[in-house]
Amino acid sequence: MIAAAVTRTEEAPNDTIVRVLREDGSLDPAHDPKLEIDEVVHLYRHMVETRIIDERLVTLQRQGRIGFHIGSLGEEAAIIGSAFAMRQQDWLFPCYREFGAALLRGFKLQSFIDNMFGNANDPVKGRQMPDHYTCREAHWGSISSPIGTQMTQAVGFAWAAKIEKKSLAALVYFGDGSTSSSEFHNAMNFAGVFKTPSIFFCRNNGWAISVPVERQTASRTFAEKGVAYGVPGVRVDGNDLFAVISVTRAAIRRCEAGEGSTLIEALTYRMGGHSTSDDPNRYRAADELKPWVDRDPIERIRRYLEHNNAWDDNREEALREDVDKRFREAVASAEQAEAPSLTTMFEDVYKKMPWHLQEQRDELLAGPRAPKAH
């Protein structure tokens, strides 16, 4: 369904989708972000790492070793490219599909895997479900399940930075389905009125769980929704790493110049299920994947690197062995770690724990324990 939608919009007059990487391996100079070849290799490695970790986590969930995973299969260029374009001082507010961006920004693989198991070393102390973590050091906001809440949080953060005259931007990730939430309207309206240094990054991956994109909106594109709020929108090939970096950097320049927010619609495709709790075969025909498999963002970058004599089968094998080794070590460590202490349920609520929480904590610790289970 999404493939047909993309064809329709591409043929529409006055509709531009930013692309950089051409079929012959060359780059369109109009939007070329001018990356060094070593930078492209660095990003390719992270994209492959993200794909491998995705696949392994699905396997762990199927084995019953973790409870849940929500992946980014097919969306790696949109996620990694946008995160790479952001500066060190900038902040990212994730949806839940962007763990690859967090790892790129400095989130430790071990910490991520600890979160998947919810053990004592989990950054959020086992309080949330897997794939819901935070990392202040990486300027990475906390993930939460309610749809769209991160949008108003990101805009509020950006507004505070503007008031304090700090040179930073806040990028917020969300899917096409989140544009149906009230949070999208609230965040976009506030950003438009107050010209906050915000970047709205919509991963138009074709599906809001089982609802196809054409049933999410009657507007021709998601990018054009920004017009009503006074926020310019841009459409980009979300499977083109170079194009994603280019438009994100342009949005940062607008923020830095005090011109306000930008809405980026990245056209990509969710090649897997919504999560490990979802079976896309129930609502999606198998042949719908074919055009997107041919546009796999990882394969496109690999062809570019090989065209520039910067990658080969030996390097690919070494990369995959390295990721496999580090992943297995992280899982082994996570499985050996203790469960979070019960006392952590009462921590981080107040700076100083009040008497009634102390009383509840003591009563809990003195009570019977449930048998251990997954």
Is there a contact between 93 and 155 (Cβ–Cβ < 8 Å)?
Answer: no
Spatial separation of the C-alpha atoms in residues 341 and 269, rounded to whole Å: 40
In b/e form, how buried is each residue of 216-254, taking b as 16+ CB within 10 angstroms? beeeebbbebbeebebbbbbbbbbbbbbbbbbbbbbbeb
Contacts of 332 (CB under 8 A, 6+ apart): none
Contact at 8 Å (CB) between 342 and 370? no
Pairing label, strands 207-208, 211-212: antiparallel
Are 223 and 265 in contact by the 8 Å Cβ rule? The answer is yes
Using an 8 Å Cβ cutoff, are 139 and 92 in contact? yes
Are the C-beta atoms of residues 258 and 195 closer than 8 Å to each other?
yes
Q: Which amino acid is at 265?
A: E
The closest of 82, 72, 32, 24 to 48, measured between CA atoms, is 72
User: Using an 8 Å Cβ cutoff, are 230 and 198 in contact?
Assistant: no
Q: Specify whether 253 is catalytic.
A: no
Helix (H, G, I), strand (E, B) or coil at 315: helix
Residue from 203, 270, 295, 300 carrying the catalytic annotation:
270
Diameter of the chain by CA atoms? 70
| Catalytic residue from among 105, 235, 274, 302 | 274
d(CA 360, CA 350): 14
The reply to whether 274 belongs to the active site is yes
Please give the Cα distance from 281 to 268 (Å, whole number).
Answer: 19
Tokens 């995973």 belong to residue? 69
Cite the active site residues.
270, 274, 283
